[in-house]
Amino acid sequence: MTDSTNPTKVAVIGSGNIGTDLMIKVMRLTDILEMGALVGIDPDSDGLSRAARMGIPTTADGVEGLIAMPNFAEIGVIFDATSAKAHVANAKALAPFGKQLVDLTPAAIGPYVVPAVNLDVHLDALNVNMVTCGGQATIPIVAAVSRVCSVMYAEIVASIASKSAGPGTRANIDEFTETTSSAIMQVGGAARGKAIIVLNPAEPPLIMRDTVYCLIGEANHDLIRESIHQMVADVADYVPGYRLKQEVQFTPVDQGDPVHTLLARGSDRSEVRAKVSVFLEVEGAAHYLPAYAGNLDIMTAAALRVGEQLAIRQSQSPAEVGS
């Protein structure tokens, strides 16, 4: 079993804000993982400078530099915190080596993983996708509703501080909406999903706020409320700043309301009975990023949880896996 005496070495590709925050989380929060390398393309980046000062192997030659590093064979898990386009190239370069990749970009080459919802299903995948920050924050809520009743439509709105949206986030806006919408259905269990991201320019910057709307049929509202509260607690176990902003709301849907435009083709509009509204906020842990950057913190915290479980799975014998 992987433990503090024999941790799994990991590499982080991307020496920007997300990669550096993830590096610090690995160093501070887990005994299961150990930093084996920080990889970037800018030799003057703050992330690479910090890593070098802390004695972590670094390279500014990208994924090719990682592959050429003397300790590359010891790396068990590789996190990619670059961009969707870069991850496609990185995954292709790393494919011959059989390393497990945790993709923090919206590239979505591998299956979507949201730790509180479906992590156990994909522990043997060579490439797992962390969806998006909005997805990590909101898909657990959709899943919490869908495990009680059918969700005919789910819509999420993720509002993040503009200052927390770096060039990678801004370049991936289209991928964000497409990937999150897809994962709302595939992981959250909604029949149809929609995602919206808002870059809030307010000063001082506001922490991440997320709104989740679900259209449902006849269902026990108390059971839905209980399921949502349990899911919030499950996510907060690895993202301490994750919380409900106010109590779950249920709004009746009248038969005259034009919700048919939101439903999947073939759905019976007459079955829609209520709208569930859930309001969340995510405060960052401020390991490297400011506390208002909860959108980035939830990605690195979720990725850390996934990396730990992948490492544990790698250390298990076939008999342990089968049990």
Q: Which residues are catalytic?
A: 133
Between CA 80 and CA 103, with CA 192 as vertex, the angle to 5 degrees is 5
Between CA 318 and CA 323, with CA 322 as vertex, the angle to 5 degrees is 120
CA distances in angstroms from 68 to 36, 65, 94, 286, listed in the order given: 13, 5, 12, 33
Measured between alpha carbons, how far is 99 from 112 in angstroms, rounded to an integer?
18
C-beta of residue 292 within 8 angstroms of C-beta of residue 279: no
- Burial label for 36, CB within 10 Å (0-12, 13-18, 19+), is buried
Q: Which amino acid is at 200?
A: N
Measured between alpha carbons, how far is 314 from 263 in angstroms, rounded to an integer?
41
Measured between alpha carbons, how far is 142 from 158 in angstroms, rounded to an integer?
14
